[in-house]
């Protein structure tokens, strides 16, 4: 069970919860058919938080409806925001931030698994992915939700 799609009544959603991000990151499978798999930790109107694993390089794309904060939990690669000329390596402990409608990409994975904690403000609809080159993919080929979040404590 998750918080997607209004599965819970407001009274059923806890006002607080703790998550073991290392446990969540380790719970992803070794392979996936989509570019990414994610699992929502929280899914509120004002903001959503997710952990996602990247399985292959992601082409240039943007999100229409939310700003995104990406905290690197594991892995290394290159990432650019706004323009490919500002690409740089990322590593665990780095925080990447970009506003809605800013084109971004992860053109190179150096060390796997690449796993991010994402905070989206406001909440990001899972279908909110627009590829610069439409032939690069669709929301369905980009990301799929992982089945279950390990329990908080």
Distance CA 32, CA 94 (A): 25
Task: Per residue of the chain (153 residues), give pLDDT as tens.
Answer: 444 444 444 456 678 899 999 999 999 999 999 999 999 999 999 999 999 999 999 999 999 999 999 999 999 999 999 999 999 999 999 999 999 999 999 999 999 999 999 999 999 998 999 999 999 999 888 988 776 555 454
pLDDT at 152: 54
Q: Is residue 50 part of a domain?
A: yes
Domain assignment present for residue 18? The answer is no
The model carries a pTM of: 0.85
- The answer to the question of residue 1 being in a domain is no
Radius of gyration for the chain, computed over Cα atoms and rounded to the nearest angstrom: 15
Per-residue pLDDT, 90: 98
Q: What is the rounded distance in angstroms from the CA atom of residue 121 to the CA atom of residue 125? A: 11
Say what the pLDDT of residue 6 is.
45
Give the number of domains in the chain: 1
**Domain range for residue 102?**
34-145
45 located within any domain = yes
CATH number at residue 71: 2.60.120.10
Distance, CA of 11 to CA of 66 (rounded, Å): 26
Domain contains 105: yes
Return mean pLDDT, the chain. Answer: 89
Question: Does the residue 153 lie in any domain?
Answer: no
Q: Is residue 87 part of a domain?
A: yes
Q: Look at residue 150 and tell me if it is in a domain.
A: no
123-133: pLDDT as tens digits: 999 899 999 99
Structure tokens at 54: 């990247």
């Amino acid at each position: 069970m998750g918080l997607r799609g209004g599965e819970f009544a407001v009274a059923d959603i806890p006002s607080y919860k703790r998550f073991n991000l290392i446990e969540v990151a380790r719970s992803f499978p070794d392979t996936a058919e989509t570019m990414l798999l994610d699992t929502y930790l929280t899914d509120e109107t004002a903001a959503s938080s997710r952990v996602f694993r990247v399985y292959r390089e992601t082409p240039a794309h943007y999100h229409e409806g939310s700003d995104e904060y990406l905290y690197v939990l594991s892995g290394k690669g290159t990432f650019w925001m706004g323009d490919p000329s500002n690409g740089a390596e990322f590593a665990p402990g780095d925080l990447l931030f970009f506003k809605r409608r800013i084109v971004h990409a992860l053109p190179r994975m150096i060390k796997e698994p690449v796993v991010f904690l994402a905070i989206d403000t406001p909440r990001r609809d899972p279908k909110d992915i627009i590829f610069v080159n439409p032939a690069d993919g669709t929301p369905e080929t980009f990301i799929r939700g992982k089945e279950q979040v390990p329990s908080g404590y």
